[in-house]
């Protein structure tokens, strides 16, 4: 049950609540006013991120609630299970209040939405008459490791079309944290009933155990990139063909593999509209002028925020950077993600 | 008047600073109309961008571009290739569309689709909805990477043609290709839009499948079929009033009624007004369409004089014809062609026919209107000296939403469809005789009185 109480709040309490709400809103409006326009979330990204979050929470809510209700039905009085199933409160709405969701989770949602929007908008590039697209070709090569990894990527992208099997596609750690938050919200809605709490705990642990991070599209693309193991001279073609086949995830995975970055880091370089580090990364793997230009043009066609003319102004400077210099400039990015976050935390705090 | 060049490839070359060196005549003329010339960068911004990017990035740049030319937009595929110090531009698929054509059919899955599929350029499946597996009982994942024909057994239509081949050849959308699912034999109707690559080539299908209704024959046209009967009233109310307001405001901005504004903005306002007028015309057409497609539609049976109606229609279009430097030769006042029909509807048909004729007439020519008698029918013929309609397109001009190579502003592709339906409802007919390059003769016949 929600927090609705039987007694009506006093006029003073209502005035207090109204003032708090007005202050919160004004604070948010002021913060919004000072946001630089290129940092502001566009409406489409905002709506898509909310939907992705809602789907992830909804899937967890359903799984945890159902299993917990089964456990309660087995051990306790039936009406408790019934009550848990019948809760009408919106878990996603409860968790969307500011400060509840981990920043990393929201970052992941936004990055994924941006990545997917770009992937969807990438122009297709046909490599030759009647030639199958890159991943279809790879799925038919004699090397069984590459072929099965490519088939797995086709299947993973296909699975994404399936609403019925929607999974959060979150990294395991974020999935676990979100699962416990959903359980906590359900527990609160069930008025912290201890029996419900125990059932929710068991159901959540079960849901977490069943989650396989390896099924995520990112992970599947990474396995394909590792299986292909492209060497220097093969990289430019593989990268441009991956974009031409509209497989942005594979493009990111190949780049990450070649540079020794993790997938999240490589994705960040690719989805930022004006990240200098992407050009450094392409130079670090020794791509030449025309390969870099082709990649920049394809990405600009897929993302209206990109300024291809401004890129053209910088192209000569980018090409003048040697691969060694580029690698040195990006050395920090090859450190593990957690290590880099820790470095950022220390950098942000006073000594 | 511009001609279409759907299959030709037009070339132009540019020096190292992006200035035009030479261009094929049609391209040079288009550039000149936009204020460009040899020795200057391309005056058409979309083409100039393609050329500039190819030069600056040093790679081939291809993309679909749309350029404005007087009252029309021209869609084309542009491909710019660095060559020596300069750039060579090749333009193909040149297709003129009215500036305010209704938006092209969106590349989305039809609302009644049951599941989706996609292929690459080699027709290998890259997506088969998991939903298909649940619905029909096969493994959709096993189909990925396999040819389209491994999933579907494509069936030809009555004329022995496979719609999918036509879609491939014309790079046009595939609509209701009959097929069977090989795994189960289930009858399906496949629809798909074409994904094109940057150079306009076939890049794959984005398709959907609908389980075909074998039991039900095509629905008989009843008043309930199609749009609900209250639709046109609602459309009228919901759209006409706000559109009229938009047009009026845009016109007053364009006229700088509230004081001077930058000419760009005045131009945008004129565009808004013109688009609004186009939409109002579309509302009118849809309301007409709704009316005449009802089974109980009966036009009035008045005694009318076809020659008189034709003179009035010609009078209504005199100003437009004068602006286009076209002479309308209307029937003389001595001519009479007594007929039975609905005066207002007949006027509507003739305004449509004469309006089209004026639009397609080259300047300095005339549109001839003549009346005739043939047995129980009287007829009026509207003939122009425009580019005509090829034999294979003549049936198409009377179909819903069909447009053969138009350059008019506005127009929904419904006018001739509505005109013929009206003529037939009045016991007459509307026919066309034409050959490409020789003008068109439309003949409206009605029962003689």
**Do residue A162 and residue B130 have CB atoms under 8 angstroms apart?**
yes
Q: What is the pLDDT of residues B174-215, one digit of tens each?
A: 888 888 888 888 888 888 888 888 777 788 898 989 887 654
**Do residue A151 and residue B127 have CB atoms under 8 angstroms apart?**
no
Contacts of residue B346, defined as CB under 8 A and 6 or more positions apart, other chains included, come to B304, B306, B309, B422, B426, B444, B446
CA pair distance A149, A138, nearest whole angstrom? 9
Q: Mark residue B427 as left, alpha or beta (left: phi above 0; alpha: psi -120 to 50; beta: remaining).
A: left
**Contacts with B, A 54-113, CB within 8 Å:** none
Tell me whether residue A298 is exposed, middle or buried, using C-beta atoms within 10 angstroms of its C-beta: 0 to 12, 13 to 18, 19 or more: buried
**Do residue B204 and residue A123 have CB atoms under 8 angstroms apart?**
no
3 state DSSP class of B264? helix
Give the residue numbers in B contacting A (CB under 8 Å), as ranges. 52-53, 56-59, 61, 63, 116, 120-122, 124, 126-131, 134, 140-141, 144-145, 195-198, 201-204
**Do residue B129 and residue A312 have CB atoms under 8 angstroms apart?**
no
Contacts of residue B7, defined as CB under 8 A and 6 or more positions apart, other chains included, come to B92
Cβ neighbours of B203 in A, within 8 Å? 124-126
Cβ neighbours of B198 in A, within 8 Å? 123, 125, 301
Tell me whether residue B314 is exposed, middle or buried, using C-beta atoms within 10 angstroms of its C-beta: 0 to 12, 13 to 18, 19 or more: buried
Phi, psi angles (nearest 5°) of residue B296: -95, 20
**Do residue B130 and residue A312 have CB atoms under 8 angstroms apart?**
no
Tokens of B9: 């490839």
Q: Helix A289-302 to helix A276-284 angle, to the nearest 10 degrees?
A: 140
Helix or strand (DSSP H, E) at A302: helix A289-302
**Distance (Å) from the C-alpha of residue A4 to the closest C-alpha of chain B?**
41
* Predicted local distance difference test score (pLDDT) of residue A289: 93
**Do residue A154 and residue B145 have CB atoms under 8 angstroms apart?**
yes
Cβ neighbours of B140 in A, within 8 Å? 158
Cβ neighbours of B141 in A, within 8 Å? 155, 158
Alpha carbon A37 to its chain centroid, in Å, reads: 23
Q: What is the pLDDT of residues B93-130, one digit of tens each?
A: 887 776 555 444 444 456 678 888 999 988 899 999 88
* Predicted local distance difference test score (pLDDT) of residue B412: 60
Asked if B368 and B383 count as a contact pair (C-beta separation under 8 A), the reply is yes
Using a cut of 0.80, tell me whether the model's pTM lies above it: no
Residue for token pair 């279409």:
B4
- Could you tell me which chain A residue has the CA closest to the CA of B82? A290
Among the partner residues A155, A289, A312, nearest to B141 by beta-carbon distance: A155
More confident residue, B382 or B417: B382
Cβ neighbours of A130 in B, within 8 Å? 121-122
CA pair distance B50, A300, nearest whole angstrom? 13
CA pair distance B146, B133, nearest whole angstrom? 16
Q: What would the DSSP string read from start to end of B372-418? A: EEETTEEEEEEE--SS---GGGTTGGGSTT--SS---SS--S-HHHH
- For chain B, give the mean pLDDT: 80
Q: Mark residue B398 as left, alpha or beta (left: phi above 0; alpha: psi -120 to 50; beta: remaining).
A: alpha
- ipTM of the complex, rounded to two decimals: 0.81
* Predicted local distance difference test score (pLDDT) of residue B228: 55
Torsion sign (Cα): A32, A37, A42, A43? positive
CB pairs under 8 A between A and B: 98
CA pair distance B444, B380, nearest whole angstrom? 5
Other CB atoms within 10 A of residue A171 CB: 18
CA pair distance A150, A173, nearest whole angstrom? 26
**Distance (Å) from the C-alpha of residue A48 to the closest C-alpha of chain B?**
18
Q: What would the DSSP string read from start to end of A151-209? A: HHHHHHHHHTT-STT------HHHHHHHHHHHHHHHHHHTTT-HHHHHHHHHHHHHHHH
* Predicted local distance difference test score (pLDDT) of residue B219: 39
* Predicted local distance difference test score (pLDDT) of residue B221: 39
Tell me whether residue B159 is exposed, middle or buried, using C-beta atoms within 10 angstroms of its C-beta: 0 to 12, 13 to 18, 19 or more: exposed
User: Taking the C-alpha atoms of A192, A198, A202 and A204 in order, what is their torsion angle to the nearest 10 degrees?
Assistant: 10
Q: Is A130 on the interface with B (CB under 8 A)?
A: yes
Q: Is A136 on the interface with B (CB under 8 A)?
A: yes
| Strands laid side by side in the B366-374 sheet | B327-329, B366-374, B377-383, B440-447, B429-434
SS3 content of chain A, % helix, strand, coil (to 5): 75, 0, 25
3 state DSSP class of B58? coil
3 state DSSP class of B355? helix
Contacts of residue A98, defined as CB under 8 A and 6 or more positions apart, other chains included, come to none
**Distance (Å) from the C-alpha of residue B147 to the closest C-alpha of chain A?**
10
* Predicted local distance difference test score (pLDDT) of residue B76: 86
**Do residue A126 and residue B201 have CB atoms under 8 angstroms apart?**
yes
Alpha carbon separation from B304 to A14, A161, A220, A292, B427 (Å, rounded)? 76, 61, 75, 72, 14
Phi, psi angles (nearest 5°) of residue B144: -60, 135
Instruction: Indicate if the pLDDT at residue B409 is higher than 50.
Output: no
* Predicted local distance difference test score (pLDDT) of residue A271: 93
Cβ neighbours of B201 in A, within 8 Å? 126
* Predicted local distance difference test score (pLDDT) of residue B317: 78
CA pair distance B48, B45, nearest whole angstrom? 5
**Do residue A126 and residue B134 have CB atoms under 8 angstroms apart?**
no
CA pair distance A121, A336, nearest whole angstrom? 31
Tokens of B243: 């559109």
Among the partner residues A132, A165, A245, nearest to B130 by beta-carbon distance: A165
- Could you tell me which chain B residue has the CA closest to the CA of A155? B141
* Predicted local distance difference test score (pLDDT) of residue A193: 87
Alpha carbon B94 to its chain centroid, in Å, reads: 14
* Predicted local distance difference test score (pLDDT) of residue A206: 92
User: How many Cα atoms occupy the beta-carbon half-sphere of B436 within 13 Å?
Assistant: 8
User: Taking the C-alpha atoms of A250, A251, A253 and A255 in order, what is their torsion angle to the nearest 10 degrees?
Assistant: 160
Angle in degrees, CA B277, B279, B282, rounded to 5 = 115
3 state DSSP class of B139? coil
Helix or strand (DSSP H, E) at B422: helix B415-425
Instruction: Indicate if the pLDDT at residue B223 is higher than 50.
Output: no
Of B363, B371, B353, B373, nearest to B434 by C-alpha is B353
Q: Report the percent of chain B where pLDDT is more than 90.
A: 15
3 state DSSP class of B210? strand
| DSSP conformation class of A1 | -
**Distance (Å) from the C-alpha of residue A87 to the closest C-alpha of chain B?**
30
Q: Where are the beta strands (DSSP E) in B275-376?
A: 302-305, 327-329, 338-341, 366-374
* Predicted local distance difference test score (pLDDT) of residue A304: 85
Among the partner residues B53, B127, B203, nearest to A124 by beta-carbon distance: B203
Residue for token pair 């076809």:
B306
User: How many Cα atoms occupy the beta-carbon half-sphere of A104 within 13 Å?
Assistant: 14
* Predicted local distance difference test score (pLDDT) of residue B408: 46
CA pair distance A272, A279, nearest whole angstrom? 12
Residue for token pair 């074998």:
B214
Stretches where chain A sits below pLDDT 50 are 1-5
Interface test mutation site (partner B, options A293, A307, A309, A314, max chain B beta carbons within 10 A):
A293
Q: Is A139 on the interface with B (CB under 8 A)?
A: yes
Residue for token pair 């202050």:
A23
Q: Is A165 on the interface with B (CB under 8 A)?
A: yes
CA pair distance B296, B256, nearest whole angstrom? 48
Q: What is the pLDDT of residues B26-74, one digit of tens each?
A: 888 888 888 888 888 888 888 999 999 999 999 999 888 888 776 677 8
**Do residue B198 and residue A308 have CB atoms under 8 angstroms apart?**
no
Among the partner residues B61, B124, B130, nearest to A133 by beta-carbon distance: B124
Least confident range from A75-79, A146-150, B21-25, B442-446: namely: A75-79
CA pair distance A31, A74, nearest whole angstrom? 51
More confident residue, B300 or B218: B300
**Do residue A130 and residue B129 have CB atoms under 8 angstroms apart?**
no
Q: Is A164 on the interface with B (CB under 8 A)?
A: yes
* Predicted local distance difference test score (pLDDT) of residue B232: 59
> What are residue B202's DSSP bridge partners?
B196
Cβ neighbours of A164 in B, within 8 Å? 130-131, 134
Q: What is the pLDDT of residues B346-371, one digit of tens each?
A: 888 888 898 888 888 888 899 999 99
Q: Mark residue A125 as left, alpha or beta (left: phi above 0; alpha: psi -120 to 50; beta: remaining).
A: beta
Q: What would the DSSP string read from start to end of A126-162? A: --STTPPPHHHHHTTSS-HHHHHHHHHHHHHHHHTT-
Residue for token pair 């990649």:
A295
Instruction: Indicate if the pLDDT at residue B167 is higher than 80.
Output: no
Among the partner residues A124, A151, A308, nearest to B53 by beta-carbon distance: A308
Q: Is A329 on the interface with B (CB under 8 A)?
A: no
Other CB atoms within 10 A of residue A238 CB: 20
Interface test mutation site (partner B, options A124, A147, A282, A288, max chain B beta carbons within 10 A):
A124
> What are residue B430's DSSP bridge partners?
B444
Cβ neighbours of B46 in A, within 8 Å? none
Report CA Rg, chain A: 24
* Predicted local distance difference test score (pLDDT) of residue B213: 64
Alpha carbon A86 to its chain centroid, in Å, reads: 31
* Predicted local distance difference test score (pLDDT) of residue A179: 94
**Do residue B198 and residue A301 have CB atoms under 8 angstroms apart?**
yes
**Contacts with B, A 14-43, CB within 8 Å:** none
Instruction: Indicate if the pLDDT at residue B270 is higher than 60.
Output: yes
> What are residue B434's DSSP bridge partners?
B440
Report CA Rg, chain B: 26
- Could you tell me which chain A residue has the CA closest to the CA of B49? A309
Among the partner residues A123, A139, A155, nearest to B197 by beta-carbon distance: A123
Other CB atoms within 10 A of residue A343 CB: 12
């Amino acid at each position: 049950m929600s927090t609705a109480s039987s007694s009506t709040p006093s006029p003073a309490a209502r005035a207090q609540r109204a003032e708090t709400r007005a202050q919160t809103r004004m604070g948010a409006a002021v913060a919004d006013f000072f946001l630089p326009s290129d940092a502001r979330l566009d409406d489409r990204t905002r709506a898509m991120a909310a939907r992705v979050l809602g789907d992830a929470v909804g899937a967890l809510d359903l799984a945890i609630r159902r299993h917990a209700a089964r456990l309660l039905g087995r051990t306790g009085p039936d009406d408790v299970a019934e009550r848990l199933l019948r809760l009408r409160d919106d878990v996603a709405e409860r968790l969307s209040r500011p400060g509840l969701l981990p920043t990393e989770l929201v970052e992941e949602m936004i990055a994924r939405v941006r990545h997917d929007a770009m992937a969807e908008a990438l122009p297709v590039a046909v490599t030759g008459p009647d030639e199958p697209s890159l991943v279809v070709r790879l799925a038919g090569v004699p090397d069984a490791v590459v072929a099965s990894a490519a088939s797995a990527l086709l299947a993973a992208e296909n699975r994404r079309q399936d609403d019925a099997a929607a999974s959060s596609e979150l990294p395991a750690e974020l999935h676990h944290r979100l699962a416990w938050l959903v359980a906590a919200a359900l527990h609160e809605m069930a008025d912290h009933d201890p029996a419900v709490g125990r059932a929710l705990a068991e159901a959540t642990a079960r849901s977490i155990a069943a989650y396989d991070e390896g099924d995520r599209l990112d992970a599947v693309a990474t396995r394909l990139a590792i299986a292909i193991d492209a060497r220097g001279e093969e990289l430019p073609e593989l990268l441009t063909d991956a974009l031409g086949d509209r497989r942005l995830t594979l493009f990111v995975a190949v780049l990450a593999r070649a540079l020794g970055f993790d997938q999240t880091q490589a994705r960040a370089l690719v989805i930022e509209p004006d990240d200098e580090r992407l050009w450094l990364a392409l130079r670090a793997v020794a791509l030449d002028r025309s390969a870099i230009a082709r990649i920049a043009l394809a990405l600009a066609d897929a993302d209206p925020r990109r300024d291809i003319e401004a890129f053209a102004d910088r192209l000569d400077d980018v090409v003048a950077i040697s691969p060694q210099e580029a690698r040195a400039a990006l050395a920090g990015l090859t450190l593990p993600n957690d290590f880099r976050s820790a470095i950022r935390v220390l950098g942000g705090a006073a000594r | 008047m511009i001609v279409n060049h759907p299959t030709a490839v037009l070339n132009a070359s540019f020096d190292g600073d992006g200035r035009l060196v030479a261009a094929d005549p049609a391209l040079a003329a288009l550039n000149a109309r936009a204020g460009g010339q040899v020795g200057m960068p391309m005056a058409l911004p979309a083409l100039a961008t393609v050329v500039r990017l190819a030069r600056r990035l040093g790679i081939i740049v291809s993309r679909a571009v749309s350029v404005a030319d007087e009252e029309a937009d021209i869609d084309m595929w542009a491909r710019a290739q660095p060559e020596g110090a300069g750039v060579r531009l090749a333009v193909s698929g040149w297709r003129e569309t009215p500036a305010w054509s209704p938006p092209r059919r969106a590349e989305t899955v039809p609302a009644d689709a049951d599941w989706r599929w996609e292929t690459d350029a080699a027709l290998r499946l890259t997506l088969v909805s998991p939903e298909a597996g649940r619905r029909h009982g096969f493994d959709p994942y096993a189909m990925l990477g396999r040819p389209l024909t491994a999933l579907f057994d494509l069936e030809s239509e009555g004329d022995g043609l496979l719609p999918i081949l036509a879609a491939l050849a014309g790079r046009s959308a595939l609509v209701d290709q009959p097929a069977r699912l090989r795994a189960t034999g289930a009858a399906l109707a496949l629809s798909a839009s074409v994904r094109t690559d940057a150079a306009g080539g076939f890049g794959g299908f984005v398709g959907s499948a609908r389980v075909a209704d074998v039991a039900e024959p095509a629905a008989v046209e009843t008043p309930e079929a199609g749009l609900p009967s209250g639709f046109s009233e609602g459309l009228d109310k919901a759209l006409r009033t706000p559109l009229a307001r938009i047009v009026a405001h845009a016109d007053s901005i364009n006229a700088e009624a509230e004081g001077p504004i930058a000419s760009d903005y005045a131009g945008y306002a004129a565009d808004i007004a013109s688009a609004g007028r186009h939409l109002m015309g579309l509302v009118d057409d849809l309301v007409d369409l709704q009316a005449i497609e009802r089974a109980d539609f009966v036009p009035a049976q008045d005694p009318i004089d076809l020659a008189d109606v034709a003179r009035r229609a010609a009078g209504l279009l005199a100003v437009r014809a004068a602006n286009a430097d076209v002479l309308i030769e209307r029937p003389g006042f001595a001519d009479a062609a007594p007929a039975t029909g609905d005066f207002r509807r007949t006027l509507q048909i003739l305004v449509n026919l004469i309006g089209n004729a004026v639009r397609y007439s080259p300047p300095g020519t005339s549109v001839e209107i003549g009346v005739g008698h043939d047995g129980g029918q009287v007829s009026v013929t509207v003939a122009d000296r425009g580019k005509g309609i090829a034999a294979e397109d003549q049936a198409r001009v009377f179909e819903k939403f069909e447009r053969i190579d138009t350059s008019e502003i506005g127009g929904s592709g419904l006018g001739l469809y509505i005109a013929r339906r009206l003529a037939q409802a009045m016991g007459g007919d509307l026919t066309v005789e034409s050959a490409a390059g020789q003008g068109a003769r439309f003949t409206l016949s009605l029962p003689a009185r």
